[in-house]
Structure 1
């Protein structure tokens, strides 16, 4: 057999080795996380339930899911051990240790476009009209001025200067 015929099998075996190795590493990290659980830690189960660890045994965990609600779960059913801040934010809706109020994005964009100096056009309360005006929409004083300044137009046939 030649090396060219064996190459696809070698690549396939290498890919399988890398996939099992990464899966094994993830399993070890999850087992280490579960072994570091302590009473009082906030957790999320694989089913999506949030609770507080009350007691940790070899293969099981006793969880406090609310006032008077204690549940016994297998350690393998714990998906994540949450930090205290994250658990309080999710379960109780308590925001804690925000870096700075200035870093928050405002609800509207007006504060992003405002300047310290007032704009010259900002003092006018008149709406800005960007369209053409009809003769009926012009102010009365403007039409009166236009009529007094204009003379009747002459046509070529009615010329007075002959």
Structure 2
């Protein structure tokens, strides 16, 4: 009877031992992976950001997240150290050749709008800009009454009694 009551505790202790052992192996593998980092290698953070390693400190790593933009991260925040080919494929979208065939976004928003009036503006002189319709109504004509106060007094006049 003593063996039956102790059996669940023995199984529980064995399961905890196996779980801590596998967690310890994962920690060692992650530490080993971080030791293979060197300046210039591509990494992915645990948040999913891809960057290039610039400097490595004791507990921190400086990453270049965009050209000329550096950020300091904890070493523990590095989720994976990537091979050069894989990093270039993910970040640049290219295989062995690093030519980028995607269109370049212009600095202004002129190409982002549809040019519906291109045919209409073709006959205008080059220096003249097309007229924009901002949805405003034209000024009321002279024969139309303007909005006046209902009491016949102009704004700001004091009433008399």
The 2-side partners of 1:67 and 1:3 are apart by: 66
The 2-side partners of 1:89 and 1:66 are apart by: 16
The 2-side partners of 1:83 and 1:68 are apart by: 22
Shift of 1:72: 0.6
Partner secondary structure for residue 40 of structure 1: coil
Structure 2: runs of 5 or more not aligned: 98-161
What's 2:8 paired with? Answer: 8
- Count of matched residue positions in the alignment of Structure 1 and Structure 2: 97
The 2-side partners of 1:96 and 1:68 are apart by: 24
Listed as ranges, the matches of 1:68-79 within 5 Å are 68-79=68-79
Shift of 1:96: 3.1
The 1-side partners of 2:74 and 2:8 are apart by: 42
What's 2:22 paired with? Answer: 22
Shift of 1:18: 0.1
Cα deviations by residue, 1:54-98 (Å, 9 ceiling, x for unpaired): 11111110111111101111101100000111100100001239x
What's 1:87 paired with? Answer: 87
Partner secondary structure for residue 37 of structure 1: coil
The structure whose Rg is larger is 1
More helix as a share of residues: 1
TM-score, scaled to structure 1 = 0.58
Partner secondary structure for residue 26 of structure 2: helix
CA RMSD of aligned residues (A): 1.3
Displaced runs of 4 or more, over 3 A: none
The 2-side partners of 1:68 and 1:41 are apart by: 16
The 2-side partners of 1:5 and 1:48 are apart by: 47
What's 1:47 paired with? Answer: 47
Shift of 1:4: 1.2
Cα deviations by residue, 1:7-44 (Å, 9 ceiling, x for unpaired): 11100100010001000110011011112210011000
TM-score, scaled to structure 2 = 0.58
